[in-house]
C-alpha cells in the first residue's frame, strides 16, 4: 500500500481540474520534458542528486503536489521522497505515456 494516491489518467485529470492550488511536477529528465509534458508542469528530475533540496526550494509544502514521469515508476519514487518531506502527494499511475496515449493535451518546448 502506497502512502499516497496513485490515480488513473482520468482520475488524475479530474484531480488537476478540481484542485486549482495543485503544484504539477514532471520528475523526468530535462530532455524528456522538452520532448513533451503536461501544461503548466514544473520539471524537477528525481534522478538528479539534489532532488529533495530542489523540491523543497521550489514547492510549497502547504499546497498539494501531483507528480508524473514517463511510465509511473520514477514518479512513485519521487512521491515517496516528497511524502517523507510532509508534502501531500498524488501520482499519475501510467505516467506521461498513459496521458499522451489517452489523447489528452501535451506541450512541447520549441
Positions marked active-site: 69
Separation in Å, CA 95 to CA 50, 74, 106: 22, 9, 12
Residue reference for cell 495543485: 22
Main-chain dihedrals φ then ψ at residue 23, nearest 5 degrees:
-105, 110
In the chain, where does DSSP find H-type helix? 9-18, 30-35, 51-58, 73-84, 95-101
Rounded CA-CA distance 87/4 in Å is 10
Amino acid at each position: 500500500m502506497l502512502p499516497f494516491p496513485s490515480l488513473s489518467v482520468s482520475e488524475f485529470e479530474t484531480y488537476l481540474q478540481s484542485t486549482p492550488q495543485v503544484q504539477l511536477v514532471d520528475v523526468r529528465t530535462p530532455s524528456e520534458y522538452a520532448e513533451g509534458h503536461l501544461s503548466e508542469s514544473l520539471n524537477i528530475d528525481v534522478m538528479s542528486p539534489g532532488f529533495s533540496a530542489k523540491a523543497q526550494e521550489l514547492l510549497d509544502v502547504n499546497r498539494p503536489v501531483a507528480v508524473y514521469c514517463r511510465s509511473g515508476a520514477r514518479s512513485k519514487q519521487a512521491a515517496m521522497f516528497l511524502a517523507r518531506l510532509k508534502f501531500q502527494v498524488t501520482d499519475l499511475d501510467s505516467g506521461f505515456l498513459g496521458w499522451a496515449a489517452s489523447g489528452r493535451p501535451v506541450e512541447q518546448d520549441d
